[in-house]
Structure 1
Amino acid sequence: MMLQKVFLLGLIQWAFIVSCARTANGVPETCAGIVPMKRRQHTMSIRRFGAIGDGRTLNTQAFQAAISTIRKLDNIGGTLLYIPTGIWLTGSFNLTSHMTLYLAKNAVIKASQDTGAWPVINPLPSYGRGRERPGGRYISFIHGDGLEDVVITGENGTIDGQGEVWWNMWRDGSLKYTRGNLVEIMNSRDVIISNVVLLNSPFWNIHPVYCSNVVIRRVTILAPADSPNTDGIDPDSSSNVCIEDSYVNNGDDVVAIKSGWDEYGIAYGRPSSNIIVRRVTGITSGFSGIAIGSETSGGIRDILIQHVNILNSGTGIRLKTNVGRGGIITNITISDIYMENVGTAIKFTGNTGDHPDERYNHLAVPVVRNIAVNNVVGRGIGSVGSMEGIKGSPFQNICLSNIMLQGAGQELTWKCEEVVGSSFGTITPPPCPQLESQMSSFCHSSYLRYH
């Protein structure tokens, strides 16, 4: 609890410092208003349904009854389900449309550790199987499918996944199906997740998949450094997503943008697009602060990432794909990044990530182009990084500008293969020759926009 308080205090201080940060080219500096936070017509407490917040009583039926009641109401104005101060133990539950799940100060919704009570649901069609195991997957702790106008918010109350039992099943090989996420919203629109703490997720923390109009802001995500696959925020085959003013300290990527896995993602064909990530601070000891991929088969395009702090992490900025993925990754701008004590600063690779099965198309080669990385400062960097594209499909129009990386005592050099691009401004250490070609129109416009 003390660790959680320290991180929350750090988030508040950091958010105040960057609150005056502006975005370029007229982009609004905040997500507020993109999806309006509605005043609900009805309010009801979880206590109305017999729930007891003593941390011992199982309240699954109370949560299910409350949401069933909300679903049956005249929801023109929607309903707020109020979770008072207390520890509310429950199994997984499904949200409904036109509702706000509101956690009061010091309210904790705590996941039951009875794994047998978590239903198994179908795999995502763009993955074809569970991400970890063949077949289905355990449902997420808080789940929603086919919804509209859904809000999870409050006074920095906590959603605690109690993930250690799941992590141990993964470690000892006893896991039968892919672990559930902490919060997953599918096939939905107009979603807000804000002002909550997510703690100890079994798997990925926040997973909007096949969604549009999603705002995630002022969230704190915490999990031990050795907790497996506890990604922070993973927008997946989703559009019009804004992630901002958040703090993540976890056991995998801080933010990872995805769009489906090999032949299943290609067939489903839904890209991730129009995504903003800004004013996020992240710590992840062995993984990436910002990741594109490795599941990229539906395509990833029109992404803006800026004003991000990456501390004490494995990799700063990571793009990862593979032969068999297919998909087009294009029009990505990453700007104003600060790194400290990071193993590898920037790493783009076309030969990473596993496959769901042996039926993937060996001719499905991803296309990577128009990636701009501007205004990066790094201190205590172990390795500057690499740009390694795919033979026969090199990464095109990779643009670097004003990047200053300081190592921990050793010489830093770039490694480049199958990549073509431009570099301008101050690049320290100097870029490799493959990144000194004539500036493309994309690189030029990116440079003008952020300088």
Structure 2
Amino acid sequence: MKLSLSLPVALLTAALLSAAQSTHAQSSTEFSWSRLPTAQQPSFKADTFNITRYGAKPDGLTLNTQSINAAIADCSSKGGGVVLVPQGLWLTGPVELKSNVNLHLVRAAVLQFSADFNQYPLVLGSYEGQPAYRNQSPLSGTGLENVAITGHGIVDGNGDAWRMVGRDKLTEREWKSKVASGGSVSEDGKVWYPSEKSRLGAKTPNASAPGRTKAEYEAVKDYLRPNMVVLTSCKKVLLQDVTFQNSPAWCLHPIMCQDLTVRNALVRNPDYAQNGDGLDIESCRNVLVEGSTFDVGDDGICIKSGKDEEGRKRGIPTENALIRNNVVYRAHGGFVIGSEMSGGARNLFVEDCTFMGTDIGLRFKTARGRGGVVENIHVRNIAMKDIVHDAILFDMYYFMKPPAKLADGQAATEPVPAVSEATPRFQNFTIRNIVCDGAERGIFLRGLPEMSVRQISLDNLVLKVNKGVELIEAQDIRISNLRLETKAAAPVVYVENSRNISFDGMQVNAPTNQALFSVSGNRTEKITAARTEAGKGRTPIEAKAGASIKALKVKS
């Protein structure tokens, strides 16, 4: 089937998915789509505990912490049921969930967490995959079973009260309002801080790092923003229909949970929210995320499993997850794995999702020192629109300075570390049926010299982007049925120090004054291209920096 890249992307999508359906019908068992993970659902007694019976008042002034927690504790002690939050504005401090309790917010109910930092004591928790003191989370639970947050109400973490923010992120009116609200402004007038403790924390190197005394954390307490909803070591968890918004840091953070379902949730954070992730699933097993919408300031749907040595010691991968029918706006990444993935991740299935305006579409990130094996990841039927950077990215240099691309001539060889338990691995990914209308680059894979990104299959892709494909330190990569439209004055495909790479069925619409393939590095070998349509007047292959022109073979 031939497709013209001059067609509107909607028609391309329909044509591609039609072709993909027949391909999928032939090979679905190969990718195990018929054996999708399941998550057991919680169930609750019908008994209802209205928080007003415990003295809660929806006046936006009364602090209802004690009343709401009393209702939850009473419900749990009597065998469980529904704790009802009626319509209204319910101001509260930290709420602690209990087993067998469904916290149910009716439509137009707002659970509004207090901006008074004194309501949130310092507790030992987890920050970016490592143990650390943080302010107590607005909503939390540990070691629970059969627990839910449901209804069409709103959980608001009052995150703007916690976040420092740059003047360039706000309008002039918003900036003046922020300054008038209190807090302090940096010496250069460019950053607003909620308090002096927050300002001190921002200026203290590694203020949130593990290993400090509680007194040291107390000195910068306001800087240690809590994740909004944290559920630790819980079983049978349901988050359904609720709007979760304005979190101080990460919004939804289930950690070491089993049988987790997130269904039809709306997760919202400002685009300037530092660490404003939507959903961070850390070291969880048996997960379903479906029908949800994420519009946040950092990664949208993210898979994690602990960081560096601490994560490897924990040794609990995130595994057996199905993520489907979700929409992600703006976020740093649509679907993300890493970078704290030291416990590994495996058996993840992502399908029928759309990413709109995210920095990156499919984002897989790690670095030396993390360790961990990420494998058996299967992605299909993804639509992307107006992606800022890369549609598909694998990068093993996250927050590290990568080596420069090889220039003409033989490049100097840098020492290559030995492979150890701290060496991360990305392997055995299948990604198919992808449409991207607008991105800076279509595909970017960058491994380490000591550990390539490997065993990646990409099939049935339509990419309308500025730059095409870059593969660096990659091995055993298969790209088939790629329709690619590019604009940049750069090689359509750049391959550096990679081997066993195959392109099969590639159609290209790109400037003809650039090479179709550019191979670089003396370790590049066994690159093949078959059934390629790229127009006339183009250099088919160029070889640089020690690569042989024979490293790539073009087949008819």
- 1:266-281 paired onto structure 2 within 5 Å: 266-281=312-327
Partner of 2:116: 114
| 2:112–2:157 CA contact under 8 A, matched in 1 | yes
Partner of 1:367: 425
Distance 1:111 1:95 in 2: 15
Give me the TM-score of the superposition, normalised by structure 1.
0.83
Partner of 2:474: 419
| 1:320–1:353 CA contact under 8 A, matched in 2 | no
Distance 1:224 1:351 in 2: 27
Residues matched between the structures, number: 399
Distance 1:402 1:189 in 2: 38
Answering whether residue 146 of structure 2 is matched by residue 149 of structure 1, we say yes
| 1:349–1:388 CA contact under 8 A, matched in 2 | yes
Distance 1:380 1:126 in 2: 31
Answering whether residue 361 of structure 2 is matched by residue 316 of structure 1, we say yes
- 1:82-231 paired onto structure 2 within 5 Å: 82-124=84-126, 127-130=129-132, 136-154=133-151, 156-168=152-164, 172=193, 173-174=198-199, 175=201, 176-177=220-221, 178-231=224-277
Answering whether residue 333 of structure 2 is matched by residue 288 of structure 1, we say yes
Partner of 1:236: 282
Answering whether residue 55 of structure 2 is matched by residue 50 of structure 1, we say yes
Partner of 1:81: 83
| 1:328–1:368 CA contact under 8 A, matched in 2 | yes
| 1:93–1:141 CA contact under 8 A, matched in 2 | yes
| 1:398–1:419 CA contact under 8 A, matched in 2 | no
Kindly state the Cα deviation for residue 436 of structure 1 after the two structures are TM-superposed.
6.1
SS at match of 2:449: coil
Kindly state the Cα deviation for residue 413 of structure 1 after the two structures are TM-superposed.
2.2
SS at match of 1:336: strand
Question: CA 1:217 to 1:28, structure 2 compared with 1: closer, same or farther past 3 Å?
Answer: farther
Q: Write out per-residue CA displacement over residues 90-115 of structure 1, whole angstroms, 9 at most, x where no aligned residue.
A: 00111000010000111110000011
Partner of 1:378: 436
Question: CA 1:125 to 1:220, structure 2 compared with 1: closer, same or farther past 3 Å?
Answer: closer
Question: CA 1:37 to 1:72, structure 2 compared with 1: closer, same or farther past 3 Å?
Answer: closer
Distance 1:270 1:37 in 2: 23
Distance 1:67 1:233 in 2: 24
Kindly state the Cα deviation for residue 353 of structure 1 after the two structures are TM-superposed.
3.9
Distance 2:292 2:116 in 1: 30
Question: CA 1:276 to 1:323, structure 2 compared with 1: closer, same or farther past 3 Å?
Answer: same
Distance 2:128 2:350 in 1: 25
Question: CA 1:252 to 1:97, structure 2 compared with 1: closer, same or farther past 3 Å?
Answer: same
Question: CA 1:362 to 1:437, structure 2 compared with 1: closer, same or farther past 3 Å?
Answer: closer
SS at match of 1:275: strand
Partner of 1:437: 501
Q: Which of 370, 383, 393 is the equivalent residue of 1:347?
A: 393
Amino acid at match of 1:320: K
| 1:324–1:362 CA contact under 8 A, matched in 2 | no
| 2:112–2:158 CA contact under 8 A, matched in 1 | yes
Distance 2:34 2:118 in 1: 45
Amino acid at match of 1:138: N
The Cα RMSD (Å) is 2.6
Partner of 1:11: none
> Runs of 5+ in structure 2 lacking a partner?
1-20, 166-190, 202-219, 401-417, 486-491, 504-556
Q: Which of 250, 270, 275 is the equivalent residue of 2:296?
A: 250
> Runs of 5+ in structure 1 lacking a partner?
1-20, 131-135, 355-360, 440-451
| 2:236–2:260 CA contact under 8 A, matched in 1 | yes
Kindly state the Cα deviation for residue 432 of structure 1 after the two structures are TM-superposed.
5.0
Amino acid at match of 2:163: W
Question: CA 1:414 to 1:438, structure 2 compared with 1: closer, same or farther past 3 Å?
Answer: closer
Kindly state the Cα deviation for residue 47 of structure 1 after the two structures are TM-superposed.
0.2
